[in-house]
Structure 1
């Protein structure tokens, strides 16, 4: 069976309450040179992504769109390995000067780190009930 790599509305954080839930309940935080990732276990049936690119951090619209496109594309390819997480991605100042290849590399590292943190959390959350 072929794995479906789509980015439908079910895998997006869509409303302010979804984003606020991640900000308030973020259990995982990953810093990269040009990104900040916040995540929490999802109450949905799949991982969801929200990308926030503030005009204050990235002035030009085409750069904001490029960053969002790269983050969505990278998430789309890695969502199967992430488990059930709600994730918010925010760029840091200076990101517009970074090449797509470097951003892909940072996103790749961040997904791996989030995956490790989520697995560690699941082990801790499950193990107390075993004693």
Structure 2
């Protein structure tokens, strides 16, 4: 279950509203000529970028419990099938496996700053609108 600050962060992302509380900030980028996106910051480092189609995460070398918790909250809400775990000090992300008979697979996340991009899940309440428009 997400922490209270993460619930507020997720609510701001869903509503595409700027938000700032203690070490966490949500910023909506919406300028003419630029694709709209929502950035999530932890201590001034952009740990998540959300566009209409994608979710990009980056720990910036800060592999802390708080960083992992914020990223996992966003990934659970906007990706739905990926999560970061820590085993013996190393981070791994879980994905659905493409191997028949294997449900999930784990991939190592390097300790240096590197961005990973995942598809963004369409929320169920918007899915009927998308299906209605495309159907």
What TM-score results when the alignment is normalised by the length of structure 1?
0.28
Higher strand fraction (1 or 2) = 2
Higher relative contact order (Cα pairs below 8 Å, separated by 6+ residues): 1
